[in-house]
Amino acid sequence: MQATGTESAVRVPVGDFALEGTLSIPHDATGVVLFAHGSGSSRHSPRNRFVASELHDAGLATLLIDLLSADEEQLDARTGELRFDIALLARRVVAAIDWLSAHDVTSALTIGCFGASTGAAAALVAAAERADLVGAVVSRGGRPDLAGDALPRVRAPTLLIVGGRDELVLDLNRQAREQMRAETELEIVPGASHLFEEPGKLERVAELARDWFSRYLSART
C-alpha cells in the first residue's frame, strides 16, 4: 500500500446482511480492482494482499471482501456446499460491483475483477451481468469453466493465469477460453503449482495482473 493512500474497513450490503471488506485507495487512483477469493480464503489472504499491494503501487485501488458471512464460512468448512455455489458467489460479486459504482470515492473509477479458484467463476459471471461496469478480469488458478453459459457473454478483456504444474486446471482454462468471445489471453507460469507457492511465482502473477489492469482500467468520464 502506498504511504500516500488510505485503507479502511467497509461493509457491502447484500440482502439482510453485509459483506466485510477492506478498501484501499492510493492517491490519483486510475481504477479499482475487486478481489473474489476462492474457498478457504478471506480478505486477509496473504496471497491476495500481496497482489493487491502491487496494484496499489501501480495506482490501482482495491476492494478485498469476504464473499461468505462468518456463519457461512463455518458451514462451508464442514460441508463444502457453498464454495461451488457459483450463483450465490456471483450475486455477491455483483453486489460489490454495484457498491463500488455508487460509492462516492470509487464511482468515477472503472472496475476490474481479480478472481481465484471458484471466485474466478463468480467474477466472470458478475462481469457478464455488469458488462457496462467491469473493464477487465484476471483469473489466478481459477475455475472459469464453472461460469458456464456466462462465458460467451463476458465483454471485459480477460487474463487467465495458470501454473504450469496445475495440469487439470490448465486444461479446464483452455476449454473455458474456447467459449469466450471477449479478448482473452492464457498465461502459463512455468513451474508453478495451483497456489503459486514456489519462489518468484506469485510475484509473476502480481506482475501479470498489474500490467493487465493498468492496460485496461482508466478513470471513467
pLDDT tens for 136-178 read 999 999 999 999 999 999 999 999 999 999 999 999 999 999 9
Q: How far apart are alpha carbons 169 and 25 in whole angstroms?
A: 33
Q: Are 22 and 10 in contact (CB under 8 A)?
A: yes
Residue 109 β-bridge partners: 219
Domains of the chain (ranges, CATH numbers): 6-216 (3.40.50.1820)
Q: How far apart are alpha carbons 135 and 217 in whole angstroms?
A: 6
Amino acid identity at 37: H
Tally Cβ neighbours within 10 Å of residue 133.
18
pLDDT tens for 7-22 read 999 999 998 889 989 9
∠ at Cα 156 (137, 26), nearest 5°? 50
The three cell numbers locating residue 169: 486446471
Q: Please check the confidence at residue 114 and state whether its pLDDT lies above 60.
A: yes
Tally Cβ neighbours within 10 Å of residue 71.
9
This model's pTM is above 0.75: yes
pLDDT for the residue 72: 79
Q: Are 193 and 165 in contact (CB under 8 A)?
A: yes
pLDDT for the residue 15: 83
Write down the residue that cell numbers 457473454 correspond to. Answer: 153
Burial 171-201 (b: 16+ CB within 10 A, else e): ebbeebbebbebebeebbbeebbbbbeeeeb
Question: Over the chain, what is the mean pLDDT?
Answer: 91
pLDDT tens for 53-79 read 999 999 999 999 988 877 777 776 776
3-state secondary structure of 130: coil
pLDDT for the residue 70: 75
pLDDT for the residue 44: 64
- Work out the pLDDT band at 3, boundaries 50, 70, 90: very low
pLDDT for the residue 12: 94
